[in-house]
C-alpha cells in the first residue's frame, strides 16, 4: 500500500445519486476518476491493471445503514474483487489506514522473505488501523479458506515474486554498471508509487540504500 493523491472536487454524480432512493456510487465519472487516481491498481494488494475492479468503501456502509458513507468521495477506493471480499469481515469494520491521507510506507515495512509476506510496524503511533491494515494485506496474499481464495492468493504471491525478481535483476545489473542511464531509467519506473507492488519494491531499496545510493531520489 502506497500513498495516493486523491483528486478534487468529487465526481459530480455522487451528490445527485445521494438524493435518489436507490442511487449508485459507481457512475462512469466515479469509476473513471478512481481508476485514474489509483493508477488502476488495487490499493490493498497492489495488483495492476485489474480485470475485476470494484468501488470499495474504506468504512462500510452496511447495505445503506450508514448512508453518509455510501456517497462520500473520501470513502471510495479502487480495489480488486479478491481484496474487497477479504476486507468484508467484521474485524475490519473500524477501518484500515486511509492511504489518501497518510503515507503507509511510513507506518509499515513491506517485505517478501523466502516466499513469505513479512510486514512490520514502523511507527509506535497508537492507531489500531495500522495493525488492521497489516493483517488485511497479509490475508490477501495468504487466505486460503475457499478454493477461489487458494487460487487468488497464490496468484498474487506469484505476481509479487515476479515483480521482485525483476527489481533484483536490475539491481544486480546496476551493481556492475552503477552509472548506466538505461538501468537508472528502468529502476525509476519500477520504483514509482503507481507501479505494481510498489510498497514492497520501494521498501527493499530503502532497506538497502547504502548499496544503491543513486536510487535515493526514486524512493522519496
Interface with Zn ion by CB under 5 A: which residues?
42, 44-45, 80, 83
Nearer to Zn ion, 48 or 206 (CB): 48
Beta-sheet pairing, 108-113 with 76-80: unpaired
What are the two backbone dihedrals, phi and then psi, of residue 191, each rounded to the nearest 5 degrees? -100, 5
CA distance linking residue 109 with residue 99, whole number of Å:
14
> Of 75 and 170, which has the nearer Cβ to Zn ion?
75
- Grid cell digits, residue 96: 484500515
Smallest gap from residue 51 Cβ to Zn ion (A): 11
Q: Which is nearer to Zn ion, 41 or 70 (CB)?
A: 41
DSSP letter assigned to residue 217? G
Task: Classify residue 39 as left (phi > 0), alpha (psi -120 to 50) or beta.
Answer: left
Q: How far is the CB of 63 from Zn ion (least distance, A)?
A: 22
Backbone angles phi, psi at 170, to 5 degrees: -70, -35
Listed in sequence order, the residues at least 6 apart from 33 whose beta carbon sits closer than 8 Å to its beta carbon are 7, 11
Name the minimum Å distance from CB 2 to Zn ion.
13
Shortest CB 140 distance to Zn ion, Å: 6
Which residues make beta-bridge pairs with 56? 77
Q: Shortest distance, CB of residue 62 to Zn ion, whole angstroms? A: 21
76-80 and 53-57 strand pairing: antiparallel
**Cβ distance to Zn ion smaller for residue 83 or 174:** 83
CB nearer Zn ion, residue 4 or residue 45: 45
Amino acid at each position: 500500500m502506497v500513498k495516493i493523491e486523491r483528486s478534487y472536487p468529487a465526481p459530480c454524480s455522487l451528490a445527485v445519486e445521494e438524493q435518489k432512493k436507490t442511487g449508485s456510487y459507481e457512475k462512469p465519472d466515479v469509476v473513471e476518476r478512481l481508476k485514474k487516481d489509483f493508477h488502476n491498481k488495487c490499493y490493498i494488494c497492489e495488483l495492476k491493471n485489474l480485470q475485476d475492479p470494484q468501488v470499495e468503501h474504506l468504512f462500510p456502509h452496511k447495505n445503506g445503514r450508514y448512508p453518509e458513507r455510501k456517497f462520500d468521495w473520501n470513502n471510495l477506493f479502487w480495489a480488486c474483487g479478491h481484496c474487497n471480499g477479504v476486507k468484508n469481515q467484521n474485524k475490519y469494520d473500524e477501518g484500515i489506514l486511509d492511504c489518501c491521507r497518510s503515507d503507509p510506507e511510513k507506518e509499515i515495512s513491506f517485505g517478501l522473505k523466502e516466499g513469505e509476506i513479512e510486514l512490520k510496524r514502523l511507527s509506535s503511533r497508537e492507531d489500531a488501523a495500522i495493525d488492521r491494515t497489516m493483517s488485511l494485506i497479509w490475508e490477501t496474499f495468504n487466505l486460503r479458506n475457499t478454493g477461489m481464495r487458494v487460487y487468488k492468493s497464490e496468484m498474487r504471491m506469484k505476481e509479487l515474486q515476479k515483480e521482485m525478481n525483476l527489481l533484483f535483476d536490475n539491481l544486480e545489473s546496476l551493481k556492475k554498471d552503477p552509472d548506466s542511464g538505461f538501468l537508472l531509467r528502468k529502476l525509476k519506473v519500477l520504483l514509482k508509487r503507481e507501479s505494481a507492488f510498489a510498497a514492497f519494491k520501494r521498501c527493499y531499496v530503502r532497506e538497502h540504500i547504502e548499496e544503491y545510493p543513486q536510487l535515493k531520489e526514486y524512493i522519496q
